Structure 1
Amino acid sequence: IGAVKLLLPLNWFCPLSYSLVHGSHIINGEKAPVNSMQYMVSVQSNGKHVCGGFLISEDFVVTAAHCNNPKPDLVVLGNHNIKSSNVKKINIQYSCEFPTFQNVGLGNDIMLLKVTSLNNKVKTIPLPTSSNDNLRDGQICSVAGWGKTGTSHHMVDDLRVVNVSILNPQLCWEKWGGLPSNVICAGGYDTDKGFCQGDSGGPLVCNGVAVGVVSFNRDLNCNYPDVPNVHTDISKYLPWINNVMKTKECV
């Protein structure tokens, strides 16, 4: 998760400084039921989990663009416990950040990973077919990831999931004092549930559809309520996603 520390009180989002901490931290969630989210993958670098991600086809994973540092080299899937002996380790052939991505504070925090083709029996999660404008304030969705369950807790190996509520965009903008475009706010404000540092790249799932990508919160702070958690709005990137998947090239 990108953790943005300071914001300028302007009508656009420009963090003065931010830092990234990779891993997965679901706050006040629960262990995901066995085989319930087999589209989830652990994005890894040099044998270590750095981010979450999710399969959208037999050979493409969606994650956050800031998860490209350190450069990931494989994804792990097939079991909600990423240390299990029966997980699948799949090589990443190349990664495609959204072309204008610079940092989490400026938005466009989305990336596609081209992985070695699995097969048509792979479990995937659907993306929106059009705009996410029909998301309702207070709508219950979920986020999931591996790792810490609090600011100073240790990482865990079992996938955890928590329900979060969609927040009004104007409220979110006001609480942050500005936001990048193309984001969805859910969890992390007026609640004790949400994501924390890490969890980057995992999906915000509403009605069985991956509508967002976990992007950032503020100041490495997991002590909710704070400010809303921010996710990249996948629906705004559908033409780019479809083009990359069709051409098998970063465009």
Structure 2
Amino acid sequence: MHALQKCLLFTVVTCLIQNAPGSEIIKGQKAKEKFMQYMASVQNNTEHRCGGFLVSEDFVMTAAHCAVKKLKSLSVVLGTHDLKKAGKKMRYGVKMICKHPAFKNVEDGNDIMLLKLSKKVPLGDKKPVKLIQLPIQKLNLKENKICSVAGWGPTEPGKHRSVNELQVLNVPIINKDECQKLWGRTLKNVICAGGYKAKSGICQGDSGGPLVCNGLAVGIVSFNKYRNCNYPDVPNVYTDISKYLQWINKVLATTKPS
């Protein structure tokens, strides 16, 4: 299947789970200035919808369940941790939505999407936006390794409004076999990190942000136990980016839709 077969130029018809499991950063802290400068706010009609992260000068990666029906309503804000300060120069249109062709719904996996921006992002040492590197091969993260996750979602369980300032949180990697046992089902191509036996982590309201380990974006915030943020008896689940490298590289190398 061609890498861009599922990339649509003008409209995207997709079945979105109502209140789809996503992420809000519970009991995190404000991200420092000039830290995580690859973070993107994926917005629908200028309202924050999901997190994302810049992986090339004109592509942002996020979760597939963050797609919207009308492409023209979608935009991406880059270059600020405070969404109140998002000026016109920080906002980028989206001209192509590239969901993974095998994505059907959030809990069945393949929850990964690339957004091609309407113009290239200025990059350089003195620019406010930076790229984050992706893995170059499949990873085997060690249990209890500490990584980080960030987002603009609500900061307390039960809240529904996103926050203006980016929040960040450290989370430990959880053993995949133990994670599947706790969820009671097979979880394909995912990383489990944080949430379980903790009072901090991700929750509903804001998916798509990166799980960052050793400076690499290794995962994409995907889902958690439905409406249980205070706090879950199962681990948080992220899409394992290293399992999709072939598809990612094909999309990034393509400048025109099929």
TM-score (norm. length: structure 2): 0.85
Q: Which stretches in structure 2 are left out of the alignment for 5+ residues?
A: 1-16
Match of 1:83 in 2: 84
Structure 2 residue matching 1:241: 3-state secondary structure: helix
Paired AA for residue 35 in structure 2: S
- Distance change in 2, residues 1:223/1:131 (3 Å): same
Question: Does the 8 Å CA contact 1:41/1:75 hold for their aligned counterparts?
Answer: yes
Paired AA for residue 245 in structure 2: L
Per-residue CA deviation, residues 25-55 of structure 1 (Å, 9 max, x unaligned), is 1011000001201100000011111000000
Q: Distance in 1 between matches of 2:116 and 2:45?
A: 18
2:145 is aligned with 1:139 = yes
Paired AA for residue 82 in structure 1: L
User: Structure 1 stretch 98-107 or stretch 62-71: which is displaced more?
Assistant: 62-71
Structure in which a larger fraction of residues adopt strand: 1
Per-residue CA deviation, residues 61-91 of structure 1 (Å, 9 max, x unaligned), is 0000000035561100111001115460011
- Distance change in 2, residues 1:22/1:187 (3 Å): closer
- Distance change in 2, residues 1:104/1:250 (3 Å): farther
Q: Distance in 2 between matches of 1:119 and 1:23?
A: 30
2:148 is aligned with 1:118 = no
Aligned residues: 233
Question: Does the 8 Å CA contact 2:23/2:222 hold for their aligned counterparts?
Answer: no
Match of 1:203 in 2: 210
User: Structure 1 stretch 223-232 or stretch 200-209: which is displaced more?
Assistant: 223-232
Match of 2:12 in 1: none
Q: Distance in 2 between matches of 1:19 and 1:101?
A: 16
- Distance change in 2, residues 1:104/1:22 (3 Å): closer
Match of 1:39 in 2: 38
Question: Does the 8 Å CA contact 1:244/1:250 hold for their aligned counterparts?
Answer: no
- Distance change in 2, residues 1:22/1:84 (3 Å): farther
Q: Distance in 1 between matches of 2:164 and 2:232?
A: 26
Question: Does the 8 Å CA contact 1:191/1:224 hold for their aligned counterparts?
Answer: yes
Select which of 100, 103, 111 maps to 2:102.
100
Shift of residue 202, structure 1, vs aligned partner: 0.3
Q: Distance in 2 between matches of 1:39 and 1:85?
A: 15
Q: Between the two proteins, what is the percent identity of the paired residues?
A: 55
Match of 1:3 in 2: none
Structure 2 residue matching 1:26: 3-state secondary structure: coil
TM-score (norm. length: structure 1): 0.88
Q: Distance in 1 between matches of 2:184 and 2:106?
A: 16
Q: Distance in 2 between matches of 1:104 and 1:31?
A: 28
Per-residue CA deviation, residues 95-136 of structure 1 (Å, 9 max, x unaligned), is 100011000111000000000212332401000111111x11
Paired AA for residue 119 in structure 1: P
How do residues 4-23 of structure 1 correspond to structure 2 at under 5 angstroms? Answer: 19-21=18-20
Q: Distance in 1 between matches of 2:217 and 2:239?
A: 11
Q: Distance in 2 between matches of 1:176 and 1:248?
A: 40
Shift of residue 192, structure 1, vs aligned partner: 1.1
